[in-house]
Amino acid sequence: MVAKTLAKRPERQDQFTTSSGTPMERLYTPAEGAGEPHLEELGMPGQYPFTRGVQPTMYRGRFWTMRQYAGFGSAAETNTRFRYLLDQGQTGLSVAFDLPTQMGYDPDHPMALGEVGKVGVSIASLDDMRQLFDQIPLEKVSTSMTINSTAAILLAMYVAVAEEQGAGSEVLRGTIQNDILKEYVARGTYIFPPRPSLRIITDLFVHCKERMPKFNTISISGYHIREAGSTAAQELAFTLAHGIAYVQAAVDAGLEVDAFAGRLSFFFGCHNNFLEEVGKFRAARRMWARIMRERFGAKQERSCSLRFHTQTCGATLTAQQPDNNVVRVAMQALAAVLGGTQSLHTNSRDEALALPSEEAARIALRTQQVIAYEFGVGDVVDPLGGSYAIEALTDQVEEEALGLIKRIDEMGGAVKAIEEGFLQRAIADSSYEYQKSIESNERIIVGVNRFTSEESIQPNLLKVSEEVGRQSVERIKAYRQKRDEEKAQASLEAVRNAARGADNLFEPILRSVKLGCTTGEVADALRDIFGGYQEP
């Protein structure tokens, strides 16, 4: 049943009409002789600079990927949720990992105590990864993994499991987030200093270019920057500045820009101001296209094409009157679709209180399906293009974001700006101003500072049992007992040797996980050479 669901494509008709039978054009452009120069300069969808979309037909040809983010407790529990969502019509998987996995600690490490399986799934071994994708054919599913510091380790486990299923690396589709710079700016789940972290990322670029041509090697993330409190323009500027740093690092490592740029992807949040968010997405495409062509000399159209995943913003959801979150999520999702996203996650109504329950996750998925199949917004490419308000906001967000990128360039680039704390201070200042506007009632949040009620609505909440941590500790200890210890330790030394030199790190990491080394052990081998990072 899962395989059938994964292979299914949206059934779209050749002729598109409104519910009243009025024919709909694929694309609307300014009327002849309208005399509106800024509209005439918009260009066409699927063509540089992609303001109106990265595909000429957009959702007429295929809906966005409905990729609900999920992960909690054990690999077996998350596998059950994955298969449930796939059976409900989800068209891609997105994995949330717990904090120990993100930070490179096994469940039996003292730093993992009390955190195993709490904000994502615990994946410490190849056995865990096997269980996570049990009965899910990896050659048929597109998988996104939200993992950064340990991205190479988790991707190696994914590749190893796919090979066991009979799927070669060359057929695997999906995305590894692999965006470490935003961790120093907005999240904090970094392990190594910035420069060796960039080396790991570029090593993945090289490996995937040669062995995994369908896999997106990085998802440059503005979502966490926005969740930390940035403005729309800051989210755009800082994300693209990080993208510039990654591209430059890869070019400095000897890669031709057109050899890898087509596998870069982006990840944005969608906040509450509907029109600004649509403009932000359109500006992002145009800015990145020009950056790639004018700054890096990219020649291929795909290298200039910004493709992105969107997640509705968790920071906008409220613990008070949580049913209101369904409306917030629906409007944010609609803005993402009208802005031209390629992939979308809709948050669940109970996420301000707990991990999503099965019921809440289903409603979140149904929200996307209703927008896709009932509202007709996918029948026209860039349906809001040409709106005076949308075009003005697109220009304004772009202008402000370009000014911030110029400041970052003058400081010596994104890494230098992070080391000096510029990005962190800017986000903190914006977050403070936003919160102050809520507390002063200048900004209205329904159910929080206006239209409040004494009645407390408590949905059924998902709780992760403490038993998950205890079982994970027993499981990882037993796992280590089964391996050939001498071969495992030799493979970890090979990882250290690669880190000391200039060899690509991915192959020795892949050998290590196949020989039974754990997430924490491989991370520790890299820590031995690269050291850890402490924020100044």
Domain boundaries in the chain?
2-10+37-414, 467-530
Q: Is the pLDDT of residue 13 over 60?
A: no
Residue 456 banded pLDDT, cuts 50, 70, 90: low
- List the one residue out of 405, 209, 203 whose CA is nearest residue 294: 405
* Out of 16-30, 37-51, 92-106, 156-170, least confident range: 37-51
- Reported as a single tens digit per residue, the pLDDT across 223-265 is 999 999 999 999 999 999 999 999 999 999 999 999 999 999 9
Q: In angstroms, what CA-CA distances link 435 with 189, 226, 324, 368, 425?
A: 24, 14, 20, 29, 15
Residues 185-198, mean pLDDT to the nearest whole number: 94
- DSSP of 191-253, one letter per residue? -S-HHHHHHHHHHHHHHHHHH-TTEE-EEEE-HHHHHTT--HHHHHHHHHHHHHHHHHHHHHT
Q: Which two tokens stand for residue 428?
A: 């903190």
In the beta sheet, which residues pair with residue 344? 66, 310
Closest among 239, 71, 63 to 145, alpha carbons compared: 71
CATH number belonging to domain 2-10+37-414: 3.20.20.240
Position 13, amino acid: Q
> Would you say 222 and 235 are in contact if contact means Cβ atoms under 8 Å apart?
yes
Please write the tens of the pLDDT for every residue from 271-326: 999 999 999 999 999 999 999 999 999 999 999 999 999 999 999 999 999 999 99
Determine contact, residues 296/247, Cβ cutoff 8 Å: yes
Q: Which residue reads 């599913």 in tokens? A: 141
User: Mean pLDDT, to the nearest integer, of 506-530?
Assistant: 98
Mean pLDDT calculated for residue range 207-223: 95
Element (H, E) at 309: strand 308-312
Query: What length does the chain have?
Result: 536
pLDDT at 410 over 70: yes
174 strand-pairing partners: 143, 215
The 8-class DSSP code of residue 303 comes to G
Q: Tell me the residue ranges of DSSP E strands in 54-136.
A: 65-70, 92-96
Q: DSSP string of 161-196? A: HHHHHT--GGG-EEEE----HHIIIII----S-HHH
Task: Write the DSSP symbol of residue 292.
Answer: I
150: Cβ–Cβ under 8 A, 6 or more apart, which residues?
A: 101, 102, 103, 104, 191, 519, 522, 523
Helix or strand holding residue 489 (H, E): helix 485-500
Report the pLDDT averaged over residues 473-501: 97
For residue 284, give the 3-state DSSP assignment.
helix
